[in-house]
Amino acid sequence: GPPLRWPPAGVEYEARAARGGPLLKRRTVVLAVTLWAYVVMRFGIKVGNFVPKNYVQQVVENSDFRKYDDGLRMILDCTAELERALAELLAKAASEKIVRYGLHRQDAAMMTCFTPSVMRSDHVHFIDGARGGYASAATALKAMAA
């Protein structure tokens, strides 16, 4: 997955969305909580029943990165060489009428999480491209079909 960073990029958004006093106080709380979480995750510190290594594995296992609805949809993080090879393979298969496909390339992905508790293993993570993702790939598919 992506590397851990601190401070997180969305500090200002989190602080503005939080309740409880002046913006400076909310920003400070967000920074303190995220620093604590960063240290726990970065160094794999067990906190009560929370084991960071287990949580990271559960994020992978519980991520909905492949969707099936009369088709396979995926978000891939790969090298430029592998991207070119896959695009060539898909183009060849499409020319032979084996597949219909749409691709969308971008440099970022977005993960939306439903996590009732980090202590439970039933959290779900939805992954899509941060700049259009599946919707843009569907547009490319429709353009190829036309």
pLDDT in tens, 33-86: 999 999 999 999 999 989 999 988 888 787 765 555 666 677 777 889 999 999
Q: Which residue has the higher pLDDT, 99 or 118?
A: 99
- Is 146's pLDDT higher than 80? no
Phi, psi of 68 (to 5 degrees): -115, 120
Q: Are strands 63-64 and 66-68 parallel, antiparallel or unpaired?
A: unpaired
Q: Which residue has the higher pLDDT, 81 or 130?
A: 81
Highest mean pLDDT among 18-27, 55-64, 135-144: 18-27
**pLDDT the model gives residue 70:** 63
Other C-beta atoms lying within 10 Å of the C-beta of residue 7: 11
**pLDDT the model gives residue 121:** 80
**pLDDT the model gives residue 126:** 78
Torsion of CA 124, 127, 130, 135, to 10 degrees: -120
- DSSP annotation of 112: E
Q: Give residue 122's pLDDT band: very low, low, confident or very high (50, 70, 90).
A: confident
**pLDDT the model gives residue 44:** 95
* Residue from 43, 44, 70, 73 nearest 134 by CA: 73
**Distance between CA 7 and CA 29 in Å, rounded?**
12
Mean pLDDT of the chain: 85
**pLDDT the model gives residue 117:** 82
For range 20-35, the mean pLDDT = 96
- Is 134's pLDDT higher than 60? yes
**Distance between CA 94 and CA 103 in Å, rounded?**
13
Taking phi first (over 0 means left), then psi (-120 to 50 degrees means alpha), and beta for anything else, what does residue 20 get?
Answer: left
